[in-house]
A and B are shown apart, each in its own frame.
Chain A
Amino acid sequence: MANHAPTPPAWADRLLTWVCPSALREELLGDLHEQFADQVAQVGERKARQFYSLEVLRFVRPYFLSRRVASFTNSSTSTKSTGTPRYSSNEYPQPSFLHPAMLSNYIKIAFRNLWKSKGYAAINVVGLSVAFVISTFLFLTTYFQLSFDSFHTDGDRVYKANLFFNDPEKASYSGTLPLPFTPALKAEYPEIEAAARLMNGSNVVEYKGKFFDKNVMFTDPDFLKIFSFPLLKGNRATALNDRSNIVISQSMAKAIFGKEDPMGKRVLLGRDSNAKEFTVSGVLADFPTNSTIQYDAFIQITNAGNYQSDKDKWDAMSHAAYVKLSPNVSRATVENRLKSFATKYFSGDIEKLKKKGAKPDERGDLFAIRLQKLSDIHFNTETGGKSGEPITLIYALAGIGFFILLIACINFINLSIARSFIRAKEVGVRKSLGALKTQLFVQIWGEAALICFVGFLVGMVLTYLLLPAFNTTFQGKLTLDYMLQPDKLVLILSLFGLVTLVAGGYPALQMSKFNAVDVLKGKITMKRPGFLRNSLIVTQFTLSTLLICCTIIAVQQVRHMRGQPLGFQKEEVISIPVGNQEDGQLVLKRMRNRLASDPTIIAITGSGVNLGLGKDRSTSRSVMGFTYKEKEISTDWLQVDYDYLKTLNIKLLSGREFSPAYPSDTLDRVVITESMAKMIGEKDPVGKYFQTDTAGVKYQIIGLVPDFHLYSSKSEKKPITMYLAHSQPISYVFVRVAPQSLAGSMDKLKAVWKEVAPKSEFIGSFMDENTNAWYKGEEQLSKIFSLASSIAILLSCLGLFAVALMVIEQRTKEIGVRKVLGASIPNIVFILSQDFVKLVVLAIVIATPLAWFFMQKWLDGYSYRIEISAWIFVLVGMAAILIALATVSFHSIKAALMNPVKSLRSE
């Protein structure tokens, strides 16, 4: 034969088959090749090939392309213009696979298949629906958290200003700024479009003799320019321009004025003698739940108590500040330009840092003003402000949701592939009758989509039913109408689409590849379990084991933290928030008088800081920093009252407690904790003096107590300095009750509270409950983890169960033969189970280091942390193996017990 017959370029031929209608392929290729042969004879092969390529490229034109596309979708008639029949090609004209007759067949077949294998369909539907429910919840929660503060029109230009200190111990941010900061900023930097201060001014609001406890904030008129909260009534530009204007929220308007029009009404703010009158000049729509700014009312900051005295002081930090940059400047440029601003006004802080031996950070800043993106505020606990969920946790939730979906998908894939050989004949027949791969793919994939859809529907119904339970358990703020917003619907539907694609696509692809001839000859039976299936099972169990290990470690850590001795006795103490309507000092006096003769009350005291989180959900902290003998001191500055130590059962190490017998105790005497003593470097601190600022009061230390946790044991015990001042309001009253009379004590105190604090609602709670509330975040986390991991293992087992069933069904003959040849039942069970157990062991081996690594990272955030012990992994591993074994052995025992005569009878 010709050792080298000249051939045209193959790619060109492939291109031609792509672009030309299939009916014309033969004659066109023929013509081209004939021409090519002529060309070779005339100008030689190389030229001919070039020419050929050009010729083919010229075929890429609308005339052919449009007909090519039409040949996909149109059935036997394809010329629209005249209706003359298309060239009778040698191919049978393909009816479109969306042909009604075909569709009805597909649907029929799909339902028959489902009906024939109800068990598998049920397993798939259950698995998928559960996975849908969980992942929907988790993804929506993630979405909700990530959407925080994202609704402001110019949100990308809004920043919170923070001070950055590159402290040698730990670089830190502070979100509280001095009053002259924003005016100076606005005056000196034209690129700052707007800037507003925001200071807490929790206040009593009075209207027509009725009192309301509302969260009123001090701010600047620019506040309404920075944030695009809708103003329902009033004028955005002028609403806060007057010193006596107040802008209130919709719900506050409802609460105070009912149906009246609030505009122009006058309310009194503040207590008794220093109450001020304000005129309502605007009503803001209620803040969306995903806003970090959630207050009831806003007035000008010029009304703040410290405004006159501090408005030019650069060292009195008191409020947060938000700025809005012009559209054309970037954050980096502004931060750079602010360097000179920092050196100009904060020289004192810079000096202090230098004294400490601070070095500039990688950006060359010792001290700087940094701008924090609005979208970061919710997640960033480091820079102060309201603490949100840490962003890693949010991603962890989404990750868990994804894991569970993946596990359900894996089940689906495994089951479909395991069952595909049953349907191989159908595929073979369809192929021999001229079904194309694409059609088969769409058909099988459509069936998968059908099951997914049923699972999805069930899942959505369950989601709807479980939503309230989810919200109460995990403090979610998801509501049904939240789920029905278009963007959420798109999210949910795309989730569904993804699952269908992943779970249905792969098996469909595999099945449409079957070789028709082999199938019909009966050559295709289930091959030995594929590598794919095994790796999928390993993946499932890896994820499950990972989640279980993490759960156990998280639960242990939470327990460990709660078990930390707090340094005071939290049991049998009732803590009552005073609220804003009453003067805490007076209430405390009345309480003492009223209960002095009551034998069941052991001690009563007051404090500025609640221990734990009470029903008012608020927490406060004041820290004092000063220099003592060349040392930088930073201590919690805790206001207490007489009997504080007695009420909390804190024992005195040396010195004495505050006592009414010493009048100067209320002026300049303090009691400190051990770590404070260590910080100031005094072995025997009692009797020593210190000053918090050079011109201020000289404090004398009168007592020393052991360290105790003022805040949660996530962080270590900090130095605390306790002082007693009658001039400052008491926010909380603590009452220690005798243990035997604990039962009725709450009601008794409630009754007494009515007498001593008539204007304030009684919301007392037990201190041990309050301190438990410190760990609510971790509690929830471990709850979510527990739920997720149990569902993960459940779904994995469900899948394993089904796969085991299939595999064993295929091996019945083998088992029969083995039995006839004398294998014992345990022997057979062992043989059948070992394949699966191997996989689970492998999964454990993979999961253990991962779990260890992740949890080490997580635990690093805690000062009091457990060490991860190896027995957890051993235990979890054993448990996983046992569970898998139990799952598999159910079938294998059944198979081993079967009568071999039955299984060998056929053939």
Chain B
Amino acid sequence: MNRAYLGEFEELVLLTVAVLEGQAYGVTVAGELKQRTSRIISLSGVHIALYRLEEKGFLLSELGGATNERGGRRKRFFTVTAAGKQTLREMRDVRNQLWDSIPTTSLI
């Protein structure tokens, strides 16, 4: 069992990167999460999650183009690796199984 453990927030970030497909960098990920979760999301938190995921091998990153509103600075785009996708899938399976085993009467 040498699979890296994923925290809840990290899982959300990983999913978001998958959702954004190719357009995932700090600001977009944070914006997406804000929209979908209506939580307070800080950029620093997002970045740390991204770097950690990369260190664990679930994400890949490369420096990409710069835009003007960034003061001409380049962005680091993140993409989900095969291992990342695999992990996401496994987690969804686990959750689905758990949902399926809930007795129907108490379904909320």
Contacts and interface: CB of A to CB of B under 8 A. Distances in A.
A35 B30 contact: yes
A308 interface: no
B63 to A, nearest CB: 7
A591 B69 CA distance: 113
Contact of B47 (A31, A34, A38): A31
A821 B20 CA distance: 82
B48 to A, nearest CB: 5
Interface stretch (A81-89, A371-379, A503-511): A81-89
Contact of B71 (A30, A38, A59, A87): A30
Nearest to B68: A37
A79 B73 contact: no
B70 interface: yes
A34 B28 CA distance: 10
A27 interface: yes
A27 B44 contact: no
Interface string A31-72: 111110110000000000000001100110101100000000
Interface in A323-340: none
A63 B74 CA distance: 22
Interface string B59-70: 001010011011
A59 B44 contact: yes
A55 B26 contact: no
Contact of B44 (A37, A38, A58): A58
Contacts, number: 76
Contact of B70 (A33, A55, A59, A61): A33
Interface majority SS (helix, strand, loop, mixed), chain A:
helix
B75 A31 contact: yes
Contact of A81 (B47, B55, B75): B55
B63 A88 contact: yes
A55 B43 contact: yes
A315 to B, nearest CB: 84
A87 B25 contact: no
A109 to B, nearest CB: 37
B22 interface: no
Contacts of A28: 26, 43, 47
Nearest to A79: B55
A26 interface: yes
Contacts of B27: 31, 34-35, 38
A87 B63 contact: yes
Contacts of A27: 25-26, 63, 73-76
A58 B45 contact: yes
A64 B47 CA distance: 10
Contacts of B43: 28, 31-32, 35, 55, 58-59
B69 A31 contact: no
A872 B45 CA distance: 76
Contacts of B74: 26-27, 30
A30 B43 CA distance: 11
Contacts of A24: 47
8 contacts: A27-B25, A31-B25, A34-B67, A34-B69, A55-B44, A58-B43, A84-B55, A87-B76
Interface of B: 25-27, 30-31, 42-45, 47-48, 51, 54-57, 61, 63, 66-67, 69-71, 73-76
Kindly list the 5 A-B residue pairs having the minimum CB-CB distance in the complex, ordered from nearest.
Answer: A30-B73, A31-B26, A37-B69, A30-B70, A27-B76
Given A27-B76, A84-B55, 9 more contacts: A27-B73, A31-B27, A31-B70, A34-B27, A58-B43, A63-B48, A84-B54, A84-B57, A87-B63
